[in-house]
Chains A and B, each alone.
Chain A
Amino acid sequence: GAVVSQHPSWVICKSGTSVKIECRSLDFQATTMFWYRQFPKQSLMLMATSNEGSKATYEQGVEKDKFLINHASLTLSTLTVTSAHPEDSSFYICSARDTLAPLPAFFGQGTRLTVV
């Protein structure tokens, strides 16, 4: 199946710093990518929809200034957690849709962020 790669797989950062997470579709073009957050023992919650060449659409309650999303090309979207705090510690997962065959979405392996 199609491959979506997320980098890094895990990251530890200090409070107040920013962290960038990359999501790449390796063998297909993705006009749309999605960013999810998964708290321990909970389901995936959609944070935002990332559209290539335009502004991301954020879900209600998600701070767009804190979670900056850039989708500069058809194969790359980035999520930057700015001024991270311990409560931002979580598992972040991206998914991407093949532009030519939009369903189903394929998921990256996730990034575990720990803010200390």
Chain B
Amino acid sequence: AQSVSQHNHHVILSEAASLELGCNYSYGGTVNLFWYVQYPGQHLQLLLKYFSGDPLVKGIKGFEAEFIKSKFSFNLRKPSVQWSDTAEYFCAVNTKAAGNKLTFGGGTRVLVKP
């Protein structure tokens, strides 16, 4: 069965700091990978996705993620965060073997101090 692990439950940083959120998955076959963001009081929104091709994926709002197959990782990064990046971030994986269902990581709450 596929599973997703996000190592950091909470991250606090100041504006302009760099952000990196870890995500590891367990599945040996072909995966589709996603990062979703949930701003306070809002619904989940897609930040970026990886299906195939260039392992460095650029998403909205200056976020990017790198798929490293050998490490089963899909870490999210942003070089310089803003206060408005305060949110909860979820990594998710989808595989054909699991019937195309999305499996989510535990989420990471990010607080950016102004």
Q: Which residues of A contact B (CB under 8 A)?
A: 1, 4, 6, 32, 34, 42-46, 49, 57, 93, 95, 97, 102-110
Contacts and interface: CB of A to CB of B under 8 A. Distances in A.
B97 interface: no
Main secondary structure, interface of A, reads: strand
A110 B43 contact: yes
Closest 8 CB pairs of A and B: A109-B43, A107-B44, A43-B106, A43-B104, A44-B104, A43-B107, A107-B43, A104-B46
Nearest to A32: B100
Given A104-B34, A106-B46, 15 more contacts: A32-B100, A34-B102, A43-B105, A43-B107, A44-B44, A44-B90, A46-B101, A93-B44, A95-B44, A95-B102, A97-B100, A103-B100, A104-B46, A105-B102, A109-B43
Contacts of B90: 43-44
B24 interface: no
Interface in B60-114: 90, 94, 99-107
Residue in B44, B103, B105 with the greatest tally of chain A CB atoms within 10 Å: B44
Residue in B42, B103, B104 with the greatest tally of chain A CB atoms within 10 Å: B104
Contacts of B8: none
B32 interface: yes
23 contacts: A1-B45, A1-B46, A43-B105, A43-B106, A44-B90, A44-B104, A46-B101, A46-B102, A49-B99, A95-B44, A95-B102, A97-B100, A103-B49, A103-B94, A103-B100, A104-B34, A104-B46, A105-B102, A106-B46, A107-B44, A108-B43, A109-B42, A110-B43
A94 B102 CA distance: 12
Nearest to A102: B100
A4 to B, nearest CB: 8
Contacts of B101: 34, 46, 49
Nearest to A103: B32
A28 to B, nearest CB: 14
A82 B43 CA distance: 25
Interface in B23-48: 32, 34, 36, 42-46
